[in-house]
């Protein structure tokens, strides 16, 4: 069964390896060696050639003894949203925190470690099972790039589980939003700020005019919009010649999303016209939504496993994205399993021992329940 000591050591070993997006080489090599020591078939793909990082995705197989059981996969990502170099971990009342000026890195090592421990426990149990794939990706935090580089159709998988969202453990995400990005370049007109300011057009003022009255934040129950990054200018004595803005919008309704994005674009174009200048807008779809129905095998197995572990098998909707968006778009059904990672993407990130164990227990039970399912009647 699940061994807490081994699981916690594995988690701590993983989070102490610095692995920001596109720089995951060290943790990939470490994990590959660990999985090979467990007896798994492990290989790397060629993701680095496609996305420009220094590491590849790992695909590891535990071959099964049940020929007609589904081929399932467990997935998590190597990279962290920020570097964790110099990480100091502090445990308080059974909860792990970063005691250094870094994030903890439980996103997504808090998914990786339980997935690996569940496989370890299954090997030790001797329980029969089908083929199981561990799929660990790189560069998830900067746009699901590793997942997009996986040649998923070559793996012959039936369905799977992504361990990459917050509590409560025992719940699952089967419905998400579509996510659009905007890159805006507002052109101003430079002039000397002290000598000839009236000859210039300040791009910051154009941006301010566009943003004033723009609908942002919570637009509806399942629609949001945000301006996240703004930069521009060349010097304090030059009328600002340009402003670059990066923005996003998300919604479970493509119609609502298109309306919101259209509104944002209109505000920028209107402001540019009023100020007598121009704006360039690059609008692209970051990822598409998915909804896996409750009667799908991947969901039914998850709900049954959650109940068997004494948990509350809730299905959730989230506006956040994960590798599941990519795999579902490729036609491979999968849902996201909740883990114990909390306050992610902040320096207050934390995860408890108990939730690590519970996530591993649930994952192990998912593997057992999957072994009972048959791909052919």
Judged against a pLDDT cut of 80, whether residue 78 lies above it is answered with yes
Q: State residue 257's pLDDT score.
A: 97
Structure confidence by residue, pLDDT tens digits, 116-131 = 999 999 999 999 999 9
Q: State residue 58's pLDDT score.
A: 97
Q: State residue 95's pLDDT score.
A: 98
Q: What one-character-per-residue DSSP string does 194-261 give?
A: TT-GGG-B-HHHHHHHHHTT---EEEETTEEEEEEEEEE-S-TTB---EEEEEEEEEES-HHHHHHHH
Peptide bond between residue 231 and the one before it cis (omega within 30 degrees of 0): no
Tokens 């990706």, located at residue: 137
The secondary element (H helix, E strand) that includes residue 361 is: helix 353-372
Catalytic residues: 79, 140
Structure confidence by residue, pLDDT tens digits, 23-72 = 999 999 999 999 999 999 999 999 999 999 999 999 999 999 998 999 99
Quote the CA–CA distance of 133 and 167 in Å, as a whole number: 24
Tokens 């080489």, located at residue: 25
Quote the CA–CA distance of 314 and 169 in Å, as a whole number: 10
All domains of the chain in start order, with CATH: 4-176+289-372 (3.40.630.10), 178-287 (3.30.70.360)
What percent of the chain has pLDDT above 70?
Answer: 99
Quote the CA–CA distance of 184 and 192 in Å, as a whole number: 25
Quote the CA–CA distance of 42 and 25 in Å, as a whole number: 15
């Amino acid at each position: 069964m699940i061994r807490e000591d081994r699981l916690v050591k594995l988690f701590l070993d993983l989070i102490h390896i610095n692995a920001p997006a596109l720089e995951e080489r060290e943790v990939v090599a470490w994990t590959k060696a660990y999985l090979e020591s467990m007896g798994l078939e492990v290989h790397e793909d060629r993701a680095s050639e496609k996305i420009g990082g220094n590491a590849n995705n790992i695909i590891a197989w535990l071959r099964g003894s049940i020929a007609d059981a589904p081929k399932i996969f467990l997935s998590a990502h190597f990279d962290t949203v920020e570097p964790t170099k110099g990480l100091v971990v502090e445990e308080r009342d059974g909860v792990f925190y970063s005691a250094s000026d870094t994030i903890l890195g439980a996103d997504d090592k808090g998914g990786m470690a339980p997935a690996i421990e569940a496989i370890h426990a299954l090997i030790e149990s001797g329980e029969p099972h089908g083929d199981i794939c561990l799929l660990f990706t790189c560069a998830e935090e900067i746009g699901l790039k590793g997942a997009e580089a996986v040649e998923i159709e070559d793996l012959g998988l039936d369905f799977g589980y992504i361990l990459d969202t917050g509590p409560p453990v025992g719940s699952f995400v089967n419905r998400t939003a579509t996510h659009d990005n905007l890159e805006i370049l507002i052109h101003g007109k430079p002039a000397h700020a002290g000598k000839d300011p009236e000859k210039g057009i300040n791009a910051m003022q154009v941006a301010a005019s566009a943003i004033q009255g723009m609908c942002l934040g919570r637009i509806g129950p399942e629609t949001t919009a945000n301006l996240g990054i703004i930069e521009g200018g060349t010097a304090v004595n030059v009328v600002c010649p340009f402003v670059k803005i990066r923005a996003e919008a998300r919604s479970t309704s493509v119609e609502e999303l298109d309306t919101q994005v259209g509104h944002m674009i209109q505000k920028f174009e209107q402001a540019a016209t009023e100020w007598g200048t121009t704006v360039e807008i690059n609008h692209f779809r970051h990822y598409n939504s998915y909804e896996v129905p409750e009667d799908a095998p991947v969901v039914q197995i998850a709900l049954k496993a959650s109940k068997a572990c004494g948990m509350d098998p809730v299905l959730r909707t989230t506006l956040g994205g994960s590798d599941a968006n990519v795999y579902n778009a490729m036609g491979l059904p999968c849902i996201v399993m909740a883990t114990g990672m909390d306050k992610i993407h902040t320096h207050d990130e934390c995860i408890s021992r108990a939730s690590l164990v519970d996530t591993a227990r649930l994952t192990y039970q998912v593997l057992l329940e999957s072994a009972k399912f048959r791909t052919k009647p």
